[in-house]
Every structure is written in C-alpha cells, then in structure tokens.
Structure 1
Amino acid sequence: MKYIVYFMMLVMIAGCQKEELTIVEGEDDEAFTDDRQLKSLLMSVVSHDGSFDDIVDNSSCFSIDFPYTCYYNGYPYPVNSIDDLAIFKNGDELIPEFPVNITFADYLQAEVPDVTAFNQLIDLCANGSLYNDIINCVDIIYPVRISVYDPSNSSFETIIFEHDKQTFQSIVGFEGDRIASIQYPIQLRMQNEVVLTINSNDALKTEILSMIPFCE
C-alpha cells in the first residue's frame, strides 16, 4: 500500500511542476520587453509631450514647468497653467523670465539659467539630438497591471501603472533578464475619442502603428 501512496505523490509533484513551467512560459509569451519595436512604441505613447507650450519655447522636446513668467510686448505675464497660454497665437513673441525649470520628453528635468542655454536646447531639439519620440494621438487608460518575472531568483511581482511618467520610467528601468508582461485586457483612447479594448501584444502594436499617420 505504501508504494501506491508513494507513486501517487510522485505523480502529484510532477503535475505541479508542469503547471508551474506553463505559467512561466505564458509570461514569456506575452513579454513586451523582448520586443524592441513594441517597447519603443509604448515609450513614445507615454513620453512627455512638450508641444503644448511651443509658442514660448518653440520645442516639443521639452516644456517649461509651471509657474513661470513671460514677457509679452515688454510686460510681464504670469503663466500658471496651459490655459494661460490660450490667449496667444502663432507669431506672438513670448520671452520667459530666467531661470526656468524644464521637463524633457523622457521626464528628466533641468534648470535653464539664461536665454543662451535655452536657445542651445531649442537647437538640439531641432537637429534631433534630444529624445523626442512622441505619439500624442494614443493614450493608455489607467490603471494597467504589469507582471514581472525575474529568472535570477524565480520571483514574480505585479506593478500597477497609474500614469504616463511612471510607465515610461518603469519601462526604461526594465533591464537584464527581467521579463515584463502586460495583464490584458487594457484599453486605449484614440485621437477620435474611440476607446479600444486590447487583448494581446500583437493587437497593441497594430493599433498604435495604425494611428501614427494621424498624429500631429
């Protein structure tokens, strides 16, 4: 009798090991970190779009952090939000009062001390030296859950993304052999306000690529 029990225990252990292997393979199948194109597309979707204040800085690679002051026709004008820029039109000359703090498309921040440094950054953006991969016609609807598997210690963790900055910085931070997979379904809001439900990496890539020609 004890041999029968021992045999049944071996079968149960083997079954559990097979199920665990299947879970790991499933995570690997849905990993977006190994797909360079998809990873790059996601970073572009969630990068910081600095184009909303181009009337001031003439650069979509970064935006000026609120609050700050601009001079318009020689008079100081406080800028506390994007709404304060709505009254101006293309061709209006707005000169920021320095120093100003800026946020780049990759969410790095810096202080710009004077107009010389400011113009240098504008030139760097214009010649492609600054990160400016922005897809502004697709938005991720949060929260999004990400499963991360670390083969070095066989551990799993779940990260909940709540906003674009966290998503961008986390994707940049996925290094080495860590396997990150999206827990589908997720939703995207497209430029025409249509909300799509996405169920796979392939569908996610296809939908983002299909919208790029319509981005500004």
Structure 2
Amino acid sequence: MKTQIRLLLLSLTTSVFFITTSCRTELNEEIGAPQEQTLTANSKIADLILKTAMNDGSGDNILDGSSCFDISLPVTVVVNGTELTLNTEDDFEEIEAIFDQSSDDMDTLEFIFPITLIASDFSETIVENQDQLDALIEACEEDQEEDDDDIECIDFQYPLSVSVFNENSEVLETITFTNDEELHDFIKDLDEDDIVNISFPITVILSDNTEITINNLDELEEAIEEAIDDCDENDLGEERFIDVITSELLEVQKYKDNQSNETNNYRDYIFDFSEDGTVLVTLEDNDGDDTNNVTTEGTWSVRTRVDGGLNTTLDFGTEAPLNKLNNSWNVKKIQEKRIMLDEREGEGISKDELFFQQI
C-alpha cells in the first residue's frame, strides 16, 4: 500500500513539473516573443508613450493664461465682478460670454484661493495666492522654452490594456488603463525586470480627429514621431505672447489678404507694441531723414478663448494700408522672435495671414 502511495505521489509530482514547465514555456512565448515588440523601461518607445500621456494644460487657458498647468475643478472665480463656480470645462463658456458682453472694458478674472494646480506629470500643488501662482507659471514657462516634453498632437483612445510579467516575482497580470494619468504613472514606474506587451490593436487620435489603428510597437513609434510636428504644439499663453510682441520692435514678415500677398505694402513700417495696450507705428522715409517719418498710434489686446487658443485684436485706425490689419486675429503660433496670426473660415482653413517678426 505504501509503495502504491509513493508511486502515486511521484506520478503527481512529475505531472505538476511538466504542467508547470509547459505553462511557463507558453507564458514566455506569449510575453517575450517577438522580443522587438516587448515594451521595456527606458526604451525610445516607452519615452514617446510617456510624453504622449503627459497632462496637457492648455484646455483651461481661459483661466490661467498658461499651458503649464490645469486648474483642478471645481474652482470659484470672479469674472468682471461676477462670481462663478466652475464645475466642468463646459462652464468655461460662461467666462467667454461675460468677456464678450463688451469690447470696451478691461476683462479681469480673479481666483478665490486656495486652488490646486495639476502639472504635466499629474503632480498637484496647492496655491494660496496670485503671487505664488504667477511665480509658478513664470518658472514653468521658462523651462518649457528650453525643453517642452509633452507631445500634444496625438492621443490614445481608451481603454488600453497591457500584460505584464515580472521575471523576479514571476507574477503575470493584465492592466487596463482608462486615462492618460494611469498610463503615464505606469510607464514612469516601469521596472527593468518587467516584460510588457501592449494588447494590440489600439487606436490613436491625431490633432485633426483622424483615428489610426496601430498593430505593433513599430507602427506606434512611427505614428507618434510623425504626429509631433502636425499641430501647433507651442503651448500658446498670454504671458508668452505679451513677452514676444512687446520685447522688441517688429516688422511685417508676411501679410496675405485671402489669396493676395500684400507684404510689400508694409515693408517700411515699424511696430512698437507696449504692455499698456498701445502700439506706435512708424513709416520710415526712404531718404534717411527721420524728421519725415510718419507715426500712427493704435491699440492692441490679447485674450484666451474658451477652447484654449488666443485672439489678439489690432486697431491701427482708418488710414490705408494699416487699416487692413485691423482684426481680431487668431494666434496661430508663437516663436522666439516671431508671432504668426491668421483668420479662419471653417476649421483649419486660413483666409488671411499676418506674421510679425522682431527686427
């Protein structure tokens, strides 16, 4: 009887060994092959995914005028003297409606502190007053001028799942992400001993709302790299706009009226924008005598729209050709020494364009 029991135990042990070995072999084949399609820590594609999943702070620029942070909702603000409690981003339209009530007043927005800022890595900071907020935004925008990490021109469609096998703990699990923060934190904390396979196919969404089906890591890397420069990823903000337009004298680099390029009409004009909302335009006389220069005074302003973009309103009076530049322009792009404006008819279609560059 004892002999039979020993034989039975031996048989069971052998069976368990073969089953375990077989399962591990199948697991390794499922997780580890092909190796080039395995997502590993500190790899190029992991870095691209991390940057794509970063928090884009531009959605609430109508509140803080900066793409560095999101303001955690709900938040209470005072807009031109009217107190509003904002619970969702849809409530931002109430701000724009108040701003649009008059074009002659100076629009103001004040926070009821404390407020909470959400940074690009989803970390949170409690801010107690306006001075602290201004300092944080200024420091962040200085950093972004040197190194703007987040990739805003492509997004993941959720849910998105991965299978993870840790070689040390020999634990296999499936993780499903429902938003950027969950995916960002996972990639940030990815261990070198983790073997990760994304459950392809997945869907990514481009800046023009085009959806692309991705079947492997190579396709994902290619899609992200191609999308990086496909949209205005320059984090438009009022402070940055004001800094570029007021720091140096400007000239018209390009003016297009519909399909007609009229840049030459502005070759001799110099624009001096001031932070108080005034602008001095000088028409230089080609004879070199400054006393013959013609000077025109105008006004300008900038505000953030509910969609996070910027509008700048220019008014140079009624005299031609400067009067053709009078408009509420969409701020298309802000560069170190250039501001690009346009007027759109329909989504993505540029009718008029006005580019200023520093002299």
**Given that residues 58 and 122 in structure 1 are in contact (C-alpha distance below 8 angstroms), is that contact kept between their aligned partners in structure 2?**
no
Distance in structure 2 (CA, Å) of the matches to 1:182 and 1:77? 43
Provide the residue aligned with 1:212 in structure 2: 228
Determine the structure 2 residue equivalent to 1:3.
none
Quote the residue 1:108 is aligned against: 123
2:43 aligned partner? 36
* One-letter amino acid of the counterpart of residue 134, structure 1: D
Q: Percent identity?
A: 28
Change (3 A) 1:37 1:58: farther
Deviation per CA, 1:60-90: give whole Å up to 9, x if none.
Answer: 1211111212222333233222222234269
Secondary structure, counterpart of 2:134 in structure 1 = helix
Instruction: Tell me the residue number matched to 1:191.
Output: 207
Query: Which of the two has higher C-alpha Rg?
Result: 2
Tell me the residue number matched to 2:70: 63
SS in structure 1 opposite 2:83? strand
1:4 match: none
**When the two structures are aligned, how many residues end up with a matched partner?**
208
Are residue 182 (structure 1) and residue 198 (structure 2) matched? yes
Q: Is the 8 A contact 1:61 1:132 kept in 2?
A: no
Instruction: Identify the structure with the greater strand proportion.
Output: 2
TM-score by length of 2: 0.51
2:197 maps to a residue whose letter is: S
Deviates more, 1:139-148 or 1:77-86: 77-86
Q: 1:66 corresponds to which letter in structure 2?
A: L
What secondary structure, in the 3-state scheme, does the structure 2 residue paired with 1:214 have?
Answer: coil
Write out aligned runs for 1:114-133 (5 A).
Answer: 114-128=129-143, 133=149
CA gap of 1:56–1:152, structure 2 versus 1, over 3 A, is: same
Q: Does 1:25 align with 2:71?
A: no
Query: In structure 1, which of residues 156, 173, 180 is the aligned counterpart of residue 189 of structure 2?
Result: 173
What is the CA RMSD across the aligned residues, in angstroms?
Answer: 3.1
* Greater RCO (Cα-Cα under 8 Å, separation 6 or more): 1
Three-state SS of the structure 1 residue aligned to 2:229 is: helix
Q: Retained in 2: the 8 A contact 1:27–1:149? A: no
Report the CA distance between 1:148 and its aligned residue: 0.8
One-letter amino acid of the counterpart of residue 165, structure 1? E
Per the alignment, residue 52 of structure 1 pairs with 59
In 1, Cα distance between equivalents of 2:29 and 2:168: 18
Q: Tell me what 1:78 maps to.
A: 85
Asked whether the 8 Å contact 2:76–2:83 carries over to 1, the reply is yes
Change (3 A) 1:102 1:23: same
| 1:187 alignment partner, SS class | strand
Cα distance in 2 for partners of 1:33, 1:59 equals 34
5+ residue gaps, structure 2, are: 1-13, 101-105, 233-359
Give how far 1:157 is off. 1.4
Residue identity opposite 2:116 in structure 1: N
CA deviation string 1:174-215 (max 9, x = no partner): 123212221211111222222211111110010111111122
Q: Give 2:345's aligned residue.
A: none
Which residue identity does 1:82 align to in structure 2? E
- Stretches of structure 1 lacking an aligned partner (at least 5 in a row): 1-8
Give the direction of change, closer, same or farther, for the CA distance of 1:203–1:69 in structure 2 (3 Å limit). same
* Equivalence for 2:268: none
Q: Which AA in structure 2 matches 1:113? A: E
